[in-house]
Structure 1
């Protein structure tokens, strides 16, 4: 299996894969509850994020972009985030309110020690259960282990807690995104998971 760095030529396939993979994800569908918005053609809901990931993170993917991983390398605590590229339609007030709730909640649970951060792992539903996600994690596990740096991720599904445990992660924190009086709803439940380094 060939795992490589994604390029701009993969853009539409990457967006489509991410959209299809997260079509029932609790966080994504809380942020984008309207089917007409979420299921726009060519994975347009991921256009803004993918533009920035390709500019700053250069995602890992399979040759056909049927699976991808967004890994953030270790940074010093308090280091400035990369400048964001604004593309696509502006978010609605409701969407902004949700992002303003979930962003600080996730930041509050991130480890303070340097770590590799797996922001997204996605496999198109037609190619799931073939080990593609494991290969996309392993490319960074090898480097993380050789450097003695742990890995971290968040997930929102109990079955994925079990999946990531199988790959060496353990639950480090667990929380609910606070309810918002303006939106009149409770945010998703989330787990933060940490993988200690292993001997090469």
Structure 2
């Protein structure tokens, strides 16, 4: 099998990234909680576009094979202030996003770290290890900085996938109908 081509995303990749995100998270319990029912098809693209726009100019979005998989990272530090969810989502959806963030963010470390905010693989390309490959640039940056990397996920399947890539569970959070895991990666990237 040929190694995937990993490239740094540019603003022109926005539509492909949104498409991959929407397809990848179509059955994700957290995204379906944030955008229930038919609202997913309408609101998930706006959410994905916002996440991409925040990170692409920092140079922390990478694509595998032209966008078949995408990793969106936040580097350590305060970063830019992000517009509130209400600036790009209807009030009810923005309130769910803000409530989810209010539950998760207190469990994230306050010490410097890299944060893998999105790892998405278009389901048509599943099983090719594109997700593992596209997360490597961010893990290399974290290792070069001597810092851990963190992420959160809402499925046990993803926990297992991440663990096979060298991540360990740092915290398990249950609130209402949602469950989330915070995972940590230390050291040299797993290839």
TM-score by length of 1: 0.82
Gap change, CA 1:9 and 1:41, over 3 Å in 2 = farther
3-state SS of paired residue (1:4): strand
Distance 1:86 1:173 in 2: 26
3-state SS of paired residue (1:141): helix
**Worse-matched range after superposition: 150-159 or 190-199:** 190-199
Distance 2:37 2:62 in 1: 29
Unmatched runs of 5 consecutive residues or more in structure 2: none
Of 59, 73, 76 in structure 2, the residue corresponding to residue 74 of structure 1 is 76
| Cα contact 1:56–1:82 (8 A) shared by 2 | no
Gap change, CA 1:165 and 1:126, over 3 Å in 2 = same
Task: Report the equivalent of 1:3.
Answer: 6
Runs of 4+ in 1 over 3 A off after TM superposition: 40-45, 55-58, 83-90
**Worse-matched range after superposition: 85-94 or 168-177:** 85-94
Q: 1:161 aligned to 2:159?
A: yes
Deviation at 1:93? Answer: 3.1
3-state SS of paired residue (2:102): helix
Q: 1:64 aligned to 2:66?
A: yes
Task: Report the equivalent of 1:23.
Answer: 26
What is the RMSD of the two structures over their aligned residues, measured on CA atoms? Answer: 2.6
3-state SS of paired residue (1:120): strand
3-state SS of paired residue (2:181): strand
Number of matched pairs: 187
Matches for 1:67-106 after TM superposition, within 5 Å: 67-75=69-77, 79=78, 81-84=79-82, 90-106=88-104
TM-score by length of 2: 0.86
Task: Report the equivalent of 1:50.
Answer: 52
Unmatched runs of 5 consecutive residues or more in structure 1: 178-185
Distance 2:88 2:119 in 1: 25
Max Rg structure: 1
Gap change, CA 1:87 and 1:48, over 3 Å in 2 = farther
Deviation at 1:49? Answer: 2.6
